[in-house]
Amino acid sequence: MKKRFKELRETLGLTQKDFSEKIKMAQSSYGQLESGIRNINDRTVKLICQEFNVNERWLKTGEGYMFEIAVSFEDFFGMNYKFLDEVDKKIITEYMKLSADHRGVIKEFIRKMI
> What percent of the chain lies above the pLDDT cut of 90?
56
> Confidence band (pLDDT; 50, 70, 90) for 22?
very high
**How much is the pLDDT for 73?**
62
Distance CA 110, CA 21 (A): 31
| Nearest partner of 54 among 44, 65, 63, judged by Cα | 65
Distance CA 40, CA 107 (A): 31
**How much is the pLDDT for 72?**
64
| Nearest partner of 34 among 55, 54, 64, 14, judged by Cα | 14
Where do the CATH 1.10.260.40 domains begin and end in the chain?
Answer: 2-61
CATH architecture of 2-61: Orthogonal Bundle (1.10)
CA distances from 114 to 36, 48, 76, 83, 94 (A): 39, 34, 26, 22, 22
pTM above 0.75, yes or no: no
How does the average pLDDT of the chain come out, rounded? Answer: 87
